[in-house]
Amino acid sequence: MEFSAEQIAGILNGEILGNTEVKVTALSKIEEGTEGTLSFLSNPKYEEYIYSTGASICIVNKSFIPSKELPKTLTLVQVDDAYACFAKLLDFYNQMRLKPAKIEQPSFVADSAKTGAGLYLGAFAYISDGAIIGENVKIYPNVYIGDNVTIGDNSIVYPGANIYADCKIGKNCIIHSGVIIGADGFGFAPDTNGEYQKIPQIGNVILEDFVEVGSNSTIDRATLGSTIIRRGVKIDNLCQIAHNVEIGKNTAMAAQVGIAGSAKIGERVMIGGQAGIAGHLHIADETKIVAQSGIPNTIKRADTLMGSPAIPLDDFKKSYVGFRKLPFILNKIQEFDKKLKELVKNQKD
């Protein structure tokens, strides 16, 4: 795909400084820019690279004033917000890369399934009985869509994802490769012999609109009712969300987060990588959980938490200062103990 500076300025409502006809065919970081690529500058700490970049076009803020001479081969597109505009271009570029409407063979669509206009269905994909697929949905190769699953308009399901029976996916969702939605929750009960008996998991999973689920993450179906991921939630790779969990709107979690069954996560919560959240608790709206923290109890008020068990961040920092001094403190105690024994011995003598 090829774009000129004039076309890019038109898309972004920007102003051009330089050659309006220069063309780019790829995107690059500003420090790695080469001829024919488009880059951007928004963070001042990267400004030094704009004076040596090989990129042909760079998107900059209108407030940017060069402190020295720019490369003669570089054309600037000035905009109100360089970062937001570059993100807009990335999305535009990504949309152009998506597969056009087509049903590849071999693939299977059950007679009772309903599919909307503009469907792309990759080879070896399988759509089961009663499934309802919205308009402009992209389902890539080797995807399994179970019985009675619904997928809303403009959603994307990447290769190798599996969506089990009765689950509901909203509009404009993105399901990345290897994701499993609707597998059985981890429900077992020991019998009189101490052997675990499986508890049937007959609920489903609901993803509301604009949810994104990262590669190889798993979201378990509810025992009864629904595991619910609310609108705008963003889930990174390798996350585990157990049965009957509910995650509030616009919450985001980094990779390897684990949430145990029936936990209720509030809105706009931020969860760092490898954090663990125990079951049957509530996390208040706008709570921030630092990476590798463990949450064993309900959080009633928004705070930034760290540690395992997690405590408020400022308290953790103070505790950590004391923890780092423990070897020194122990040495001092041993010295005092030795001197005390010597004093006692001298008094006896």
Instruction: Report how far residue 2's alpha carbon sits from residue 28's, in angstroms, rounded to the nearest whole number.
Output: 14
Instruction: Report how far residue 135's alpha carbon sits from residue 119's, in angstroms, rounded to the nearest whole number.
Output: 6
Catalytic choice (176, 243, 280, 282): 243
pLDDT reading at 336 higher than 90: no
How far are the Cα atoms of 92, 160, 169 from residue 117, in angstroms, in the given order? 21, 23, 17
Q: Among this protein's residues, is 243 annotated catalytic? A: yes
pLDDT reading at 94 higher than 70: yes
| pTM of this structure | 0.83
Percent of the chain with pLDDT over 90: 82
Residue 103 CB: number of other CB atoms within 10 A? 14
pLDDT reading at 140 higher than 90: yes
pLDDT value of position 181:
98
Instruction: For residue range 234-276, list pLDDT tens digits in order.
Output: 999 999 999 999 999 999 999 999 999 999 999 999 999 999 9
Instruction: Report how far residue 60's alpha carbon sits from residue 51's, in angstroms, rounded to the nearest whole number.
Output: 13
How far are the Cα atoms of 105, 168, 185, 222, 330 from residue 182, in angstroms, in the given order? 26, 10, 8, 8, 52
